[in-house]
Amino acid sequence: MGDLTDYRRQIDEIDSQLIPLFEKRMDLALQVARYKQENHLQVLQGGREQQVLNLAVEHLNTKEYADAAIRFMSNIMSISRDLQKKKLAAGQEDLPAPPQGKLGYPGVAGSFSEQALIEYFGKECDRVAYEEFEDVFKAIKRGEIQYGIVPIENSFTGAVSESYDLLRKYGFYIVGEKSIRVDQHLACVRGGSLDTIREVYSHAQGLEQCSEFLKSHKEWKLIPFHNTAIAAKFVSDAKDTGKAAICSECAAQLYGLDLIKPCINNQTGNSTRFIIIGRELEPKEGDKVSVVFSLEDEAGTLYRLLSYFAANHINMVKIESRPMKDVSWRYFLYVDFEGNVESPQSKTALELIKKDAGYFKLLGAYKADRLN
């Protein structure tokens, strides 16, 4: 066993090797910046950065260092991003501007997502439907649309986990939100009835929101679909009285279905909150902020991080945890709080959290929508 001088000597040797490697990495980061500039790519590549973090954990022989390795690599990538942004600032913007006002939503015409989009942007908005939630994020990344909309939370079934994961994966920002009342209806082609139905199609959340009603028809086969409106279209195209959809009244009318049983959702006043996502942060006169940070496996970590909000008199309105996919029993914590991101209280709290957390990202600063 060596003495303290020997340990320090070994550390100095390792550090002397790290600095040239760090310098080489920064040189490569600037080359990447030039490539992104020439090919109109964004600085932040969320999926790529997650791959780097995953590889860092995989290469560890001592897995108990996983949290520290993630923090170390996150800091390195943050420095690289800053260098790239400075390089790009003297040249072109990250991506060509997408068609002004072009908007994307998951599903098809008549979906709740389209309804929320229309209520937020107006009936005349230029909108494009995409099959999956992630397709909306990919369209923003490709520059096909300026903004997208996805559901983030339902008043009965809770968080839409996929949307949270996609936000962190792609690195986009929340620029607005819209809450709408959601009434679910059982719909079928003409001639259908409760007696003819054998299969019911809807989004998994739609089925869950109507679970009490569906319990009284256990003979029905429940089939999750991409979207409530897509389910309505499928039932309409099938022209089979044995098939029914749980969907909005708008979708039923659009696809020529009869309402067999209206308002079958468990709760009256059922509502869903949607978020508007874009490539840039747009704080403007926002009064709500969303962040995500990692929760370290240390005693008192959760208390300490959340105490920064209380110490700065900040009201948290939403907390949601999501597991890290490649590190067991580690979590990302998503927090929404009231306030302007530029206020001294917000800045102080966020700086403290950023300093203490292994991973931190500001997800959005926007105007809250309070459903009456």
- Kindly provide the residue ranges of all beta strands, DSSP E only, lying in 107-237, ordered along the sequence: 127-130, 147-154, 158-159, 173-181, 185-188, 199-203, 221-225
Contacts of 74 (CB under 8 A, 6+ apart): 53, 358, 359
Backbone angles phi, psi at 320, to 5 degrees: -140, 130
* Number of CB atoms found within 10 A of residue 7's CB: 11
Using alpha carbons only, give the angle 38, 171, 315 rounded to the nearest 5 degrees. 145
Catalytic residue among 157, 228, 241, 272: 272
What gap in Å lies between CA 84 and CA 67, rounded to an integer?
Answer: 26
The rounded Cα 66 to chain-centroid distance in angstroms is 24
Contact 87, 33 (CB under 8 A): yes
* Residue 203, beta-bridge partner list: 225
293 in catalytic set: no
Q: Which of 133, 137, 225, 274 is catalytic?
A: 274
Give the three-class secondary structure for 328: coil
How far is residue 183's CA from residue 82's CA, in Å, rounded to a whole number? Answer: 46
Q: Is 186 helix (H, G, I), strand (E, B) or coil?
A: strand
Indicate the helix (H) or strand (E) that contains 227.
none
Q: Report the catalytic residues.
A: 272, 274
